[in-house]
Structure 1
Amino acid sequence: MTDVVDRAAQAQQPRAAPVTGGRERWFRPLVGVAALTGAAAGLVVASLSLGQPLVVPARLPSVLAADGGLEHVVVTELRAPRLLLAVLAGAGLGVAGLLLQESLRNPLAVPELLGTSSGAAAAVAVTVGFGLTVPGAPLLPALVGAAIGTLLTVLAVRGAVGPAAVLLIGAGVSAALQAMMLAALSMADSREQGVLVRYLLGSLSGTTWSTVAATLPGLLLGLPLAVLALPALGLLRLGGEAASVLGLRPGAARLGVLAIACLITAAVVGPCGPVAWVGFFAPQLAARVAPRVGLAARLAACAGLGAMVVGAADLAARTVLYPVELPVGGLTAVVAVLLGGVLLLRRRAVRR
């Protein structure tokens, strides 16, 4: 038992960085933070400026301060809420992905492969397809669907051996929920089918300030809970045996972390649809941008990188083929595929 405690304590400590000189220890992180801050500022300016009509960045302050006019309405009522929703969605999915990956100790444990995202989207699609009036929509149906999808996966994987089996079963549950989405789509009114198709592909079109307001309750509850769950998450990273020795009940703690991830995912999927694979690549990018930091800093990095990627994807979705709008979820899926290919090639190179 003493050996387990010693190993757990050592694993919980951040890995020591190589001694490369005092200046480099603070200079490199400072450069990274400055670069990310500059990229985020540029993304905000581009999101508010680009499109039809084009607003020159130098005129943005005067346009924002104006009492009215076409440019003022476009920037403040269309582009600003859409940018804010993209930031909130990316941050939430990045945090949810980190919670799932660390609690289950699997880098592929993401909402798309655990039934969480598909369950939330299926529940919203059913309410729209059948014309059901549900109080608290879209958050409440999405939350119920995310919980059911995750619970189905958890029940189905009981007795499964190895992470690959768990992910295959989760993918099967997600496929069944996606079939339910398609069934709801086929039964929807013809006027609703176009809206549902865009929603099921992940879209931020038609975003208003009321859409942002519908997202806030789940995130304002889920993100602080994610921060409060960091101590338990740090123990779950060590494995069930070590966590038990250190006084944690692994089963209950893991269930609590999964519940928080479901809440955050539902808060995003409800208004935006399944914006795919942000929960996968945000933690992966954060692990490479800040490899030797604690869980709190990694959580913040996942939120920031997820927000930037979804914001950039939404900007590309509405400008690249204007007036045709691309699905944001499709673009984020492409980013995930490219990142996964890069990681696979690097792993093969390391093995050789």
Structure 2
Amino acid sequence: MREQIPLLVNGRRSILLLPFFLFVLLFFTSAAMQLKFGSPAMTWEELLSIIFSHRGDDLRRTIVWEMRIPRILLGFMVGTMLGAAGTIMQGAMNNKLAGPELLGISSGASLAMAAITVLHLPVTVLFHPAIAFIGGLAGGLSVLIASRGSRGTVALLLIGMSVSAILNGLLIILISLGTSNDVNLLYTYLLGSLANRNWNYVIRMLPWFVMVLPFAFFFTRTLNLMQLGDEAAAGLGVQVHRARMWMLALCTGLVAITVAQCGPIGYIALIAPHLVRSLLSSLDARLVLPLSALCGGVLLTAADTIARLLLYPMEIPVGVWTTIFGGGLFLLFFVKRQGGGTRA
């Protein structure tokens, strides 16, 4: 079965170049559109002058530097973490349908964050990622406990969907207990949004991004071996259960941090690894993981550009667009590969 996983050799490093440059081009195109278009209108010359020379009127400088640039940076970091989390989760479960939306992680983190708002808990924003992590971990552990004794990752995913549905039901009950002001605050947040994010959000996200994301790349060899199946991986020296728990904990941390800052943004974690594997025609985690992280950041930046500009001046939260487009792409991937079942 080892030949099913084409591993990286020196001659194949070039296959990274085309997807890498494609993602970089898409990112800068999306970022340029984010920076230029909107109100007030500005020419390309004015925009370049504001960015590189800090020249221009105060209003345009403030909008570019205090609103649009932080939003782009935050969206890229959030998408990068989601792309990495999706790759690790699918590898840990050895199932390409695995995602934080289906294993109770996103729902648990969202429920914890909603509780802070509705119950008016005295929790400073610096500790919101920790609260979201606890909620996401509780959701993920609920799935693991409920699935104890079941065989196969498909059963685990079905249980995860059930637990997510229960947590979403509890979330609706919790929201109904809040005031109208609480509901208004939670509405946009629970749809997943990057609107009105400034440098404070970027500064709060940056330490987590720098400290947590690098741990993902320690698991590339383990992910490659676990694609051979649990028994084969164990025979090659992998402590499968322990490795899976560590990887799921890491995924919970990556997702919970993004939920704390932007709300639950769906399908980026699920779609980015599928897209990268299709572009590379490879399952090698040493290739797929870094490009999936980059792809996630680019996808979210592009989706946020659509969210802000498509129906301007009205803005629909980016989480709605990622669900629409991500769900459509996932359906396309699934139909294309339905002959391989859920392990496609």
- Is TM > 0.5 for Structure 1 vs Structure 2? yes
Mapping for residues 297-336 of structure 1, pairs under 5 Å: 297-336=287-326
Residue 19 of structure 1 is matched in structure 2 by none
Does the Cα contact within 8 Å between 2:221 and 2:286 map onto a contact in 1?
A: no
Q: Deviation at 1:34?
A: 3.3
Q: Deviation at 1:229?
A: 2.1
Residue 206 of structure 1 is matched in structure 2 by 196
Q: Deviation at 1:145?
A: 0.6
Residue 197 of structure 1 is matched in structure 2 by 187
Does the Cα contact within 8 Å between 1:202 and 1:273 map onto a contact in 2?
A: yes
Task: Give 1:14's match in structure 2, choosing from 3, 7, 14.
Answer: 7
Mapping for residues 156-175 of structure 1, pairs under 5 Å: 156-175=146-165
Rounded to whole Å, the distance in 2 between the matches of 1:248 and 1:26 is 26
Q: Deviation at 1:134?
A: 2.1
Residue 109 of structure 1 is matched in structure 2 by 98
Rounded to whole Å, the distance in 1 between the matches of 2:187 and 2:301 is 21
Letter in 2 for 1:121: S
Give the secondary structure class of the aligned counterpart of 1:188.
coil
Task: Give 1:75's match in structure 2, choosing from 58, 64, 74.
Answer: 64
Give the secondary structure class of the aligned counterpart of 1:35.
helix
Residue 281 of structure 1 is matched in structure 2 by 271
Question: 1:11/1:27 Cα in 2 relative to 1: closer, same or farther (>3 Å)?
Answer: closer
Give the secondary structure class of the aligned counterpart of 1:107.
coil
What are the Cα deviations for residues 92-134 of structure 1, in whole angstroms up to 9, with x where unaligned? 1110000000011011110000001111111000011100012
Residue 32 of structure 2 is matched in structure 1 by 45
Structure 1 residue runs of 5 or longer lacking an equivalent are 1-6, 17-21
What are the Cα deviations for residues 257-292 of structure 1, in whole angstroms up to 9, with x where unaligned? 111111100111111111011111000001011123
CA RMSD of aligned residues (A): 2.4
Question: 1:32/1:204 Cα in 2 relative to 1: closer, same or farther (>3 Å)?
Answer: closer
Q: Deviation at 1:55?
A: 2.7
Rounded to whole Å, the distance in 2 between the matches of 1:203 and 1:97 is 19
TM, length-normalised to structure 1: 0.89
Residue 128 of structure 2 is matched in structure 1 by 138
Mapping for residues 263-282 of structure 1, pairs under 5 Å: 263-282=253-272
Residue 44 of structure 2 is matched in structure 1 by 57
> Number of matched residues?
338
Letter in 1 for 2:301: G
Q: Deviation at 1:295?
A: 1.5
Structure 2 residue runs of 5 or longer lacking an equivalent are none
Does the Cα contact within 8 Å between 1:215 and 1:271 map onto a contact in 2?
A: yes
Mapping for residues 213-232 of structure 1, pairs under 5 Å: 213-232=203-222
Rounded to whole Å, the distance in 2 between the matches of 1:59 and 1:95 is 36
Residue 114 of structure 2 is matched in structure 1 by 125
Question: 1:34/1:229 Cα in 2 relative to 1: closer, same or farther (>3 Å)?
Answer: closer
What are the Cα deviations for residues 272-316 of structure 1, in whole angstroms up to 9, with x where unaligned? 111011111000001011123732221111111111111111111
Letter in 2 for 1:89: V
Rounded to whole Å, the distance in 2 between the matches of 1:84 and 1:90 is 10
TM, length-normalised to structure 2: 0.91
Letter in 1 for 2:214: P
- Which structure carries more relative contact order (alpha carbon 8 Å, separation 6+)? 2
Residue 36 of structure 1 is matched in structure 2 by 23
Q: Deviation at 1:348?
A: 5.5
Letter in 1 for 2:99: V
Question: 1:29/1:13 Cα in 2 relative to 1: closer, same or farther (>3 Å)?
Answer: closer
Rounded to whole Å, the distance in 2 between the matches of 1:27 and 1:249 is 33
Rounded to whole Å, the distance in 1 between the matches of 2:163 and 2:339 is 34
Does the Cα contact within 8 Å between 1:85 and 1:212 map onto a contact in 2?
A: yes
Identical pairs, percent = 33
Task: Give 1:93's match in structure 2, choosing from 82, 86, 91.
Answer: 82
Residue 3 of structure 1 is matched in structure 2 by none
Higher mean displacement: 182-191 or 306-315: 182-191
Task: Give 2:286's match in structure 1, choosing from 275, 296, 309.
Answer: 296
Give the secondary structure class of the aligned counterpart of 2:101.
helix
Residue 54 of structure 2 is matched in structure 1 by 66
Does the Cα contact within 8 Å between 1:236 and 1:254 map onto a contact in 2?
A: no
Question: 1:126/1:285 Cα in 2 relative to 1: closer, same or farther (>3 Å)?
Answer: same
Residue 241 of structure 2 is matched in structure 1 by 251
Rounded to whole Å, the distance in 2 between the matches of 1:230 and 1:350 is 24
